């Protein structure tokens, strides 16, 4: 698996969000929205050669780009460039929920989400961007009338890295989440439930 990931930023020239595509601390491409369509450009490497990526890695990053740039509402004109308006900054978990809640395959009795495999990869990648640690994952089979846990598809990642400094905890949890997910089933009836933790130590069920 490569280090390829997306990082959202506000482009001052275009006046709208774009996403830099980054690998090993180098910007290797750019994703942007134009007239309702999303586009991705990859830059040649230092030798002028085309870049080569694993399809699964690329799909993971593209899912993240869609969640970042696809269908995001524009800020109201009364809020644009007006610091000190009293508008509270959105919590990273609220940002994550706004992007992925509607993509849950099903919701449980306590409103917990069960996410398809391809959506789950995007959630983990977006957690990296938002500074959220994936501390728990569990896989389930979705039946028409019930939800059954899948043996061997459960991980308490937070416990594995407990006591580590936050940057180490964050990186360790999320890297392990990606590694584990790659080994889990990809069938249509399989879905994943998540718990994430913010830098203050609060845990949230997605």
pLDDT tens per residue across span 9-32: 888 887 888 888 888 778 899 888
CATH code, domain carrying 182: 3.30.190.30
* Residue 85 lies inside a defined structural domain of this protein: no
* CB neighbour burial string for 37-76, b if at least 16 within 10 angstroms, e if fewer: ebeeeeeeeeeeeeeebeeebbebbbbbbbbbbeeeeeee
Which H or E run includes 129? helix 117-130
Note whether 195 and 117 are same-domain residues. Answer: yes
Q: Give me the pLDDT at residue 70, please.
A: 66
Distance, in Å, from the CA atom of 12 to the CA atom of 16, rounded to the nearest integer, reads 7
* Residue 67 lies inside a defined structural domain of this protein: no
Note whether 46 and 96 are same-domain residues. Answer: no
pLDDT tens per residue across span 57-78: 787 778 777 777 764 444 444 4
Q: Give me the pLDDT at residue 136, please.
A: 95
Note whether 122 and 26 are same-domain residues. Answer: no
Note whether 40 and 124 are same-domain residues. Answer: no
Note whether 113 and 187 are same-domain residues. Answer: yes
- Domain around 175: 92-205
Which H or E run includes 190? strand 190-197
137 half-sphere exposure, CB direction, 13 A CA radius: 30
* Residue 103 lies inside a defined structural domain of this protein: yes
Q: pTM higher than 0.85 for the full model?
A: no
Note whether 181 and 111 are same-domain residues. Answer: yes
* Residue 16 lies inside a defined structural domain of this protein: yes
Domain count within the chain: 2
């Amino acid at each position: 698996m490569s280090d390829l990931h997306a990082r959202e930023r506000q482009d001052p020239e275009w006046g709208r969000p774009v996403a830099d595509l980054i690998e090993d601390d180098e910007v290797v491409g750019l994703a942007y929205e134009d007239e309702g369509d999303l586009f991705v450009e990859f830059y040649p490497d230092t030798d002028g050669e085309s870049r080569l990526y694993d399809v699964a890695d690329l799909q993971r990053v593209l899912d993240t780009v869609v969640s970042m740039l696809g269908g995001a509402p524009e800020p109201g004109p009364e809020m644009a460039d007006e610091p000190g308006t009293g508008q509270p900054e959105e919590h990273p978990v609220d940002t994550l929920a706004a992007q992925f809640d509607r993509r849950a395959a099903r919701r449980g009795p306590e409103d917990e989400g069960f996410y398809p495999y391809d959506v789950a990869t995007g959630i983990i990648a977006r957690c990296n961007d938002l500074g959220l640690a994936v501390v728990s994952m569990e896989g389930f089979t979705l039946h028409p009338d019930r939800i059954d846990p899948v043996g061997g598809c459960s991980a308490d990642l937070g416990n594995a890295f407990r006591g580590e400094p936050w940057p180490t905890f964050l990186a360790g949890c999320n890297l392990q989440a990606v590694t584990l997910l790659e080994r889990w089933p990809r069938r249509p009836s399989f879905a994943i439930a998540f718990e994430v933790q913010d830098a203050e130590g609060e845990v949230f069920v997605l």
